[in-house]
Structure 1
Amino acid sequence: MSAQPNPDRLEWYSGPGNNYSHACGCGRTTTVSTPQAGSDVKCECGRELKVPSLSRLRMLTGRDGYESGVIDEIRRLIRDRGLPSMSICALSKRPTEDTVTVSITVPRFFKNPEKDDWKLVLVAGWVGVFFVNAFRKPVFEEEGSMTIEMQLRVASNQQAKTREMSQSRLRKLLRIEPLYARLLEENPHCRITILE
């Protein structure tokens, strides 16, 4: 989403990395980090530059003022009609305009049931711990969870298949969209549902 600087006027754009850059009228580019937001910096030419607040910097570079993570980025792109970005079916890899609605529930808390294994060792020994862990499923805490609905390109003749897929297959399917892949990487315990 980086725009190229315009040397004819003062301009802000995103980059490099998480920083912001300012194209001065002299033709030089000054890199500004997020902690410098709201302060004054100098260009190499000596011109004093008033750095806008962080929320204003974000808006000047095409993001939401208070975008704080991948979920906010996905919501903005959905609102701006930037998602889904792919024009092919996630299953057949053929061009399609058809989409399915995917609901991803991201838990705020994830309970690790293995922390109580010491109690099981006292009662059933190490063999009991082995058998319990072999069949244990992750505990998903609903309290405080966040749900986001998004579109995924799936041809209409393939949509029924997606509703029957396991969580691991749905994860692989969603990875066709880079932002969805990042969301799943940052939230490995989320639950995916294909809506009707």
Structure 2
Amino acid sequence: MRRSHQEAVRALASLGDTRALPSLPAALDSDVDAWRAVQVAGYLPRAADQLVPRLCDHLRRLDLSQQWTEMSANAVLSALAALGDPAAVPVVVDTLGAAVRHEQHHIMRSALKSLGAFGPAAASARDTIRPLTTAADPHTRLAAVAALRAAGGDLAEVMPPLLGLLDDRIGDSAVLLGEMGPPASAAPPRLRTLLTHD
């Protein structure tokens, strides 16, 4: 019976139906099968006021020094990004800092992607994001550049690391340059060299 209830709530939430409430907040509060609630919370932006504080509490409680928390952290960060409530920015920044300390690269990238989704509302996170534009891992560098640009980072500071990523043959950097449009006018010579890349 419990499983049937959970699946019905998940289906309603996936459809954006607020009748999934109050079951999702209850699951997050009790921590009983909270992961099921996390998976679909992002589909209910109209209930962000109820879900975001609970998701933030859930994220704060995760011990990022443990590898097994990676999937949970990534799922919560994804849900927070989907809900788009800037109230989550400080917790996402704290999570990013913890991920850096514990060298959790996947969580770093998820946190950066989440901050990028908040756009200019994440401007306060730029000082935390900026050092990661020179991270050893190129995929983390790309996520940091994308987040910094979305949070209102200056073109002059995002273009050099982004062009450097082209040299490293990180293809998604070309996608980001394309999304930037005319402000990325310094990129075409480097992009042309990639036309012959396998």
Question: Could you say which TM-score interval applies, normalised by the shorter chain?
Answer: under 0.3
More strand by proportion, 1 or 2?
1
Work out which of the two has the higher radius of gyration on C-alpha atoms and give 1 or 2.
1
More helix by proportion, 1 or 2?
2
Give the TM-score normalised by structure 1. 0.21
